[in-house]
Amino acid sequence: MIAAWYGVVSFMLIAYVALDGRNFGVGMLHWLVARTPAERRQVAAAIGPLWSWDEVWLIAFGGALVVAFPRLLASAFAGYYLALFLILWCLVLRGVSLEVGGVVDDRLWHGFWDFVFAFSSSLLAILFGAAAGNVARGVPLDARGEFSMAFFTDWRVTGEVGLLDWYTVSVGVFAAVVLAAHGATYLTWKTEGPVHERSRFFAKRFWFAALPLFAAVSVESWVVRPEVPEHAFGNPLCWLGLFGVAASIVALLSAFAKGREGRAFAASCFLLVAILATGAAAIFPVMLHSTLAPESSLTAYDVASSPTALWLASLWWPIALALTLAYYVAISRRFAGKVGVTSP
């Protein structure tokens, strides 16, 4: 049951990255792919009216974490205090820029909110990447299962680490590049006209940058936490995940070569899911690794709720998921199809 809820929580976060990561990517690139006000509106229309549904996955992830692993949420959120508030403020700015950017028809107004959108999206991608790096590297958990962390200390990856060090920064950069590629792939599929051409141009280049970075980050992770891959070799789920990663890279490259844009975006989503799922399977059951003493690490079994709570949540959670997927599909079909430059 605890392992199943580890899966649920990972699933919620991974779905959030694949869904909202696309919006971060669009935000980072939209000045490059859209040059005129009409093209900017086209990009906004390509994100569509359902973007806040994407964001709810983050909230629902937080909810699932409280239900299943309340003590992890307490330790991690308090420990990441300042970083989390930076993320929250960026989410506020990103949300506002999407909601009000098109409300006033004025060149300065558009320019300002376009900047806020690009700025907050870029920072979000880097911060979420650095957060993933922190989970992979570990945090200075003490014997009480708590930690507090500076933004940076000596930039090394052991002992009293900071939020940022050479490893987490490199994961942040990788996240920004891969989400930019993901967003550009989405725009290639969803738009037509000049925006489509430019998105295609950037999607290819960002993927060519992202794949070597992915290899580099994988090697770095091995260096930072050598025991994790050793442990993962015995886990069939990790092998499945690695196979998924390889298959989606092949599918992505072939889809680009053949100009199958919908398939390219599907492969891009699948690649993100496979990378993150492999990582989640590899670190299980440790949810938060201690850089001070391995025995202070928090495993899923240490921080889980009571069995009653997990059983109760298992009753309603699948129903809620089925419901939301059903009406999401029903609504998004109404907004399906390519977005042209003249669309409102």
Partner 1 sequence: MFSDPSFWSRLQFGFTVTYHYLFPQLTMGLAWFLVYWKWRALRTGNEEYDRAVRFWAHIFGLNFAVGVVTGIPMEFQFGTNWAGFTRQSGGVIGQTLAMEGMFAFFLESAFIGALLFGEKRLGPRGHFAAALAVALGSWLSAYFILVTNAFMQYPQGYVVLADGSLGIGAASDYLLNPWAWIQFAHNQLAALVTGSFAVASIGAFYALRGVHLVQSRLYLRAGTAVGLVASLLVAFPTGDQQAKMVARHQPVTLAAMEGRFASGPMAGIAVIGQPNLAEKRLDNPIEIPGALSFLAYGTFASVVHGLDEYPEDVWPDNIELLYYAFHLMITLGTLFILLMAAGAFQSWRGRLESSRGLLWLLFLSLPFPYIANTLGWLTAELGRQPWLIYGLFRTRDGYSRVVSNGDVIFTLIGFTGLYFVLGVLFLVLVGREIGHGPEEEQA
User: Taking the mean position of all CA atoms in its chain, how far away is CA 11?
Assistant: 11
Q: Are 137 and 50 in contact (CB under 8 A)?
A: no
Sign of the dihedral through C-alpha 290, 135, 57, 8: negative
Q: Long-range contacts made by residues 238-247, C-beta under 8 angstroms, separation at least 24?
A: 238/278, 238/281, 238/282, 241/274, 241/275, 241/277, 241/278, 241/281, 241/282, 242/278, 244/270, 244/273, 244/274, 244/277, 244/278, 245/271, 245/274, 245/275, 245/278, 247/274
71 interacts with partner 1 by CB under 8 A? yes
Question: Nearest distance from residue 160's CB to partner 1, in Å?
Answer: 14
60 interacts with partner 1 by CB under 8 A? yes
Enumerate residues 142-201 that contact partner 1 by CB under 8 A.
146-148
102 interacts with partner 1 by CB under 8 A? no
317 interacts with partner 1 by CB under 8 A? yes
Q: Are 61 and 13 in contact (CB under 8 A)?
A: yes
100 interacts with partner 1 by CB under 8 A? yes
Q: At what angle do helices 194-224 and 166-190 cross, to 10 degrees?
A: 150
The residues facing 191 across adjacent strands are 339
Burial label, 231 (beta-carbon count in 10 A; 0-12, 13-18, 19+): middle
> At residue 160, what are phi and psi to the nearest 5 degrees?
-80, 80
Question: Nearest distance from residue 29's CB to partner 1, in Å?
Answer: 22
104 interacts with partner 1 by CB under 8 A? yes
Question: Nearest distance from residue 17's CB to partner 1, in Å?
Answer: 16
Question: Are β-strands 298-299 and 286-288 bridged in parallel, bridged antiparallel, or unpaired?
Answer: antiparallel
Q: Which is nearer to partner 1, 89 or 222 (CB)?
A: 89
Contact string (CB under 8 A) for partner 1, positions 19-58, x = contact: -----------------------------xxx-xx-xx-x
Q: Which is nearer to partner 1, 51 or 174 (CB)?
A: 51
- Residue from 19, 64, 255, 286 touching partner 1 (CB under 8 A): that is 64
Stretches 78-86, 178-186, 240-248, 276-284: which one binds partner 1 (CB under 8 A)? 78-86
Question: Nearest distance from residue 281's CB to partner 1, in Å?
Answer: 23
Q: Are 189 and 155 in contact (CB under 8 A)?
A: no
Stretches 157-165, 233-241, 249-257, 314-322: which one binds partner 1 (CB under 8 A)? 314-322
4 interacts with partner 1 by CB under 8 A? no
Stretches 35-43, 188-196, 237-245, 319-327: which one binds partner 1 (CB under 8 A)? 319-327
Residues 6+ apart with CB under 8 A from 152: 162, 163, 164, 165
Would you tell me which residues interact with partner 1 (CB under 8 A)? 48-50, 52-53, 55-56, 58-60, 62-64, 66-68, 70-71, 73-82, 84-85, 88-89, 91-92, 95-96, 99-100, 103-104, 146-148, 305-306, 308-309, 312-313, 316-317, 320-321, 323-324, 327-328, 331, 334-335
